[in-house]
Amino acid sequence: MRYESVLVSLSPTEVRDRIRKRVEGIQSSKADDGFEFRTNSGILVGSVSPATLPDGSDGSRLRYRTSILSATAAHAKRTGTALRDAVSSALVTD
């Protein structure tokens, strides 16, 4: 499976809350120092964890699924992209 990652200028909890509001069919659960996101069928489509942004401030790293291996995986990829889109206004670029 392939994942992309982006830096986000929100805390992991804020990322989780934004994704919950904007992405249907997603379940989140606590994982290590952040959260995992799964489809209702249990497929992992992303995760968020704390990160230090390039300017030294606190933020998050969102990893989201991008690979397609089957019809189910295609849905997971679309859902993973929806995770990223949910926080697009807070993405951090170098």
> What are the domain boundaries of the chain?
3-92
Tokens 């989780």 belong to which residue? 16
pLDDT for the residue numbered 2: 80
> pTM value?
0.72
* DSSP bridge partners of 6: 62
Q: What is the mean pLDDT of each run of 10 residues along the chain (94 residues)?
A: 89 95 92 93 92 96 80 74 87 76
The SS3 call for residue 1 is coil
Architecture of domain 3-92: 2-Layer Sandwich (3.30)
Cβ 2 vs Cβ 56: under 8 Å = no
pLDDT for the residue numbered 61: 97
pLDDT for the residue numbered 72: 64
pLDDT for the residue numbered 81: 83
